[in-house]
Chain A
Amino acid sequence: MAATESPRVPRPSVAPNAEAPAANARVRLKAVELSAFFGSSEVVKSISMSFRDREVTAIIGPSGCGKSTLLRCLNRMHETVPTARVAGTVTLDDQDIYARGVNAIEVRRHVGMVFQRPTPFPTMSIRDNVAAGLQILGRERPSKTETDHIVEDALRRAALLDEVSGRLKESAFGLSGGQQQRLCIARALATRPAVLLLDEPTASLDPISTQKVEELVYELRQDMTVVIVTHNMQQAARVSDRTAFVLAGELVEFAPTNALFTTPSDQRTEAYITGRFG
């Protein structure tokens, strides 16, 4: 197995992020002066940043800097915690997701999320777990055969199909931690969201599972917007096109990943990535 520092993910020869990412990529998701509060404490302070289509954006920063909260504001999960509050705007395809009359549930169907710890539903089989997001679509709910196809497709995209084919009806709890996490990614992919938010998706996984998830993230960028929060700077360097460095709730620097890690423009960024704090 390669050492931790070397890039694990095979890069295409014309890697889009070998140089600066294409400047004309469409902005999918955009935060404008976004602030988030728990009670009266402001954990995200007026952050403005754009997330482009077909790119992976990494958010790095020390523990407790507000990066997870920032991520949770992007699909309106932040407001599910008591006393939590959001100010500013977030637009998805130029539509404000915090506007009056916009349903948070609708937003979350278009902006999928995967958490730090795998969260398969214990009462459901592997298949039902992947199909969980489809069961709530009401009239647009796909038929049983369609669902089977979607489940298979989502599992294939999550690079899990080969490992679970033939045991789709078994409990999701029988899978390993890494498989469970990829199952959660498949579950998020099944509803075909435009954006996928990953909140430290490999924090509780072993190195081999981590590598698989990273390869997967790299693949996903081909047809969606991916935002990944990570503690691991090597991981940010391996999988992302752009990296944002957040410190104490403020966006310190947001640049193409290569530029941020090789020529950071802010002293604090340099101090953090060279390991002087955090």
Chain B
Amino acid sequence: MTARGPAGGVTLPPKPSDRGRKARPSGVQRAAAERTRTTIGRRRVVNVVMIGVTFVAAILATLPLIFILGHLIKAGASSINPAFFTEIPKPPGETGGGMANAMVGTLVLILAASGFGLPIGIGAGLYLAENRGTVIANGVRFLSDVLNGLPSIVMGIFAWQFLVKPMGKFTALAGGIALGAMMIPLVTRTTEEMIMIVPVSLREAALALGYSRWRTSLVVVLRTALPGIVTGALVAVSRIAGETAPLLFTVLGNQFWSTSLREPIAALPLQIFSFAISPYDEQHSLAWAGALVLIGIVLVISLAARFATRSRFGRGGD
């Protein structure tokens, strides 16, 4: 169907404002046209400048990572060989040796921290989302934000005071709990935010089917929000994987093989730290290699988890 104007095709008499079109423009009109031209010109310039500025910012944002990776590869790649992944550190002065125990130690610590921090963080986030606006929820949210800003060295001191001291020795468990406590506020907030964007209509649909409240939360809401929550958990894991300060007070480090939670354990950040401050060039190079591997581990964890939570149906859509 063709659209018809209000006048149904009849030509309208020119509006008063149209009448002067063909006539010579007055001084006022010329000035207005001149102003429009300069305005448009200025807008074009501003547009180009702003695109340029934001482009440079975007490049600068990725530059540190590229620079760091480049330097790590340059300084550490030469020390990466099979022995690096299979052997424990050699005593100072001897060449060779690796960081196998520290890599395994870091994985053990990540698992322990996740086992402690994820259930609490996700549970707390679920509580905050389901009880929005209550005094308790607001209090918990505020305290969780404060905990998020807590310096990691403070967390380490507390873990030493309340875990290491009573137990009488440095343990991997204490380190796992300290790292897990650092994960909690991050996981709590992302869980809450991801759950809040699940539409109320979905929750109502489940309730109307006869789902109980907790089942609705777990089966429908949490599952729908899962990809976002996993991403949040990964950010938290990446953040704690490289933490050094809390580990100094809790797991101490270990030059030998140990995977026990009840013993001091080696960890990559600690090993990097102790090699970096040693006087031997051989160990400096190993420290660079360790840093490269640490970044690699974080990368692999996030890729693996992304793959695992990839929607069964692809991106979906409308």
Residues of A within 8 A of B317 (CB): 173
Q: Choose among A109, A132, A173, A191 the residue that contacts B318 (Cβ–Cβ < 8 A).
A: A173
Q: Please give me the residue from chain B that is nearest to A133 by CB atom.
A: B209
Residues of B within 8 A of A119 (CB): 199, 201-202, 204-205
Of A1-9, A16-24, A110-118, A241-249, the one with at least 4 CB within 8 A of chain B: A110-118
CA distance A109 to B211 in the complex (A): 9
Instruction: Determine whether the beta carbon of B204 is less than 8 Å from that of A115.
Output: yes
Instruction: Determine whether the beta carbon of A121 is less than 8 Å from that of B215.
Output: no
Asked if B262 is an interface residue, CB under 8 A from chain A, the answer is no
B interface footprint on A118-149 (CB within 8 Å = 1, 0 otherwise): 01011101000000110110000000000000
Q: A119-B202, A123-B224 known; A174 and B313 CB under 8 Å?
A: yes
Instruction: Determine whether the beta carbon of B208 is less than 8 Å from that of A75.
Output: yes
Instruction: Determine whether the beta carbon of B207 is less than 8 Å from that of A80.
Output: yes
CA distance A105 to B199 in the complex (A): 21
Residues of A within 8 A of B211 (CB): 105, 136
Asked if A106 is an interface residue, CB under 8 A from chain B, the answer is yes
Residues of B within 8 A of A50 (CB): none
Asked if A54 is an interface residue, CB under 8 A from chain B, the answer is no
Asked if B223 is an interface residue, CB under 8 A from chain A, the answer is yes
Instruction: Determine whether the beta carbon of B210 is less than 8 Å from that of A109.
Output: yes
Residues of B within 8 A of A117 (CB): 201
Asked if B149 is an interface residue, CB under 8 A from chain A, the answer is no
Instruction: Determine whether the beta carbon of A121 is less than 8 Å from that of B205.
Output: yes
B interface footprint on A154-187 (CB within 8 Å = 1, 0 otherwise): 0000000000000000110110000000001001
Asked if B212 is an interface residue, CB under 8 A from chain A, the answer is yes
Asked if A77 is an interface residue, CB under 8 A from chain B, the answer is yes
We find that the number of chain A residues with CB closer than 8 angstroms to chain B is 28
Asked if A188 is an interface residue, CB under 8 A from chain B, the answer is yes
CB distance from A213 to the nearest CB of B (A): 16
A interface footprint on B223-244 (CB within 8 Å = 1, 0 otherwise): 1101000000000000000000
CB distance from A111 to the nearest CB of B (A): 9
Count contacts between A and B, CB distance < 8 Å.
72
Q: A136-B215, A171-B313, A173-B318 known; A77 and B208 CB under 8 Å?
A: yes
Q: Choose among B204, B209, B312 the residue that contacts A132 (Cβ–Cβ < 8 A).
A: B209
Asked if B206 is an interface residue, CB under 8 A from chain A, the answer is yes
Residues of B within 8 A of A136 (CB): 209-212, 215
Residues of B within 8 A of A45 (CB): none
Most buried by A among B199, B202, B208: B208
CB distance from B308 to the nearest CB of A (A): 14
Q: Choose among B204, B210, B226 the residue that contacts A123 (Cβ–Cβ < 8 A).
A: B226
Asked if B147 is an interface residue, CB under 8 A from chain A, the answer is no
Within 8 A of A (CB), among B152-166: none
Q: Choose among A80, A122, A191 the residue that contacts B209 (Cβ–Cβ < 8 A).
A: A191
Asked if A108 is an interface residue, CB under 8 A from chain B, the answer is yes
**Range class of the B interface residue count:** 20 to 34
CA distance A122 to B316 in the complex (A): 8
Residues of B within 8 A of A125 (CB): 312-313
CA distance A133 to B207 in the complex (A): 10
Residues of B within 8 A of A106 (CB): 210
Q: Choose among B199, B208, B212, B316 the residue that contacts A113 (Cβ–Cβ < 8 A).
A: B208
Instruction: Determine whether the beta carbon of A188 is less than 8 Å from that of B318.
Output: no
Q: Please give me the residue from chain B that is nearest to A190 by CB atom.
A: B209
Residues of A within 8 A of B224 (CB): 121-123
Residues of B within 8 A of A121 (CB): 202, 205-206, 220, 224
CA distance A136 to B206 in the complex (A): 11
Residues of B within 8 A of A112 (CB): 208-209
Instruction: Determine whether the beta carbon of B313 is less than 8 Å from that of A173.
Output: yes
Instruction: Determine whether the beta carbon of B205 is less than 8 Å from that of A170.
Output: no
Q: Please give me the residue from chain A that is nearest to B202 by CB atom.
A: A119
A interface footprint on B211-224 (CB within 8 Å = 1, 0 otherwise): 11001000110011
Instruction: Determine whether the beta carbon of A173 is less than 8 Å from that of B210.
Output: no
CB distance from B198 to the nearest CB of A (A): 9
Residues of A within 8 A of B199 (CB): 119
Q: Please give me the residue from chain B that is nearest to A109 by CB atom.
A: B210
Within 8 A of B (CB), among A77-128: 77, 80, 105-106, 108-109, 112-113, 115, 117, 119, 121-123, 125
Residues of B within 8 A of A123 (CB): 220, 223-224, 226, 311-312
Most buried by A among B223, B224, B313: B313
CA distance A121 to B208 in the complex (A): 13
Instruction: Determine whether the beta carbon of A108 is less than 8 Å from that of B313.
Output: no
Q: Please give me the residue from chain A that is nearest to B198 by CB atom.
A: A122
A interface footprint on B280-318 (CB within 8 Å = 1, 0 otherwise): 000000000000000000000000000000011110111
28 contacts between A and B (CB under 8 A): A75-B208, A105-B212, A108-B207, A108-B209, A109-B209, A112-B208, A113-B208, A115-B205, A115-B208, A117-B201, A119-B202, A119-B205, A121-B205, A121-B220, A121-B224, A122-B202, A125-B312, A133-B210, A136-B210, A170-B313, A171-B313, A171-B314, A173-B316, A173-B318, A174-B313, A187-B209, A188-B209, A191-B210
In the complex, the 8 A-B pairs of residues with the closest C-beta atoms, listed nearest first: A171-B313, A109-B210, A119-B205, A113-B208, A133-B209, A108-B210, A173-B316, A123-B223
* Known pairs A106-B210, A113-B208, A132-B206 / 20 extra A-B pairs, C-beta < 8 Å: A80-B207, A108-B207, A108-B209, A112-B208, A115-B205, A119-B202, A119-B204, A121-B202, A121-B224, A122-B202, A122-B224, A122-B316, A123-B226, A125-B313, A132-B209, A136-B211, A136-B212, A136-B215, A171-B314, A173-B318
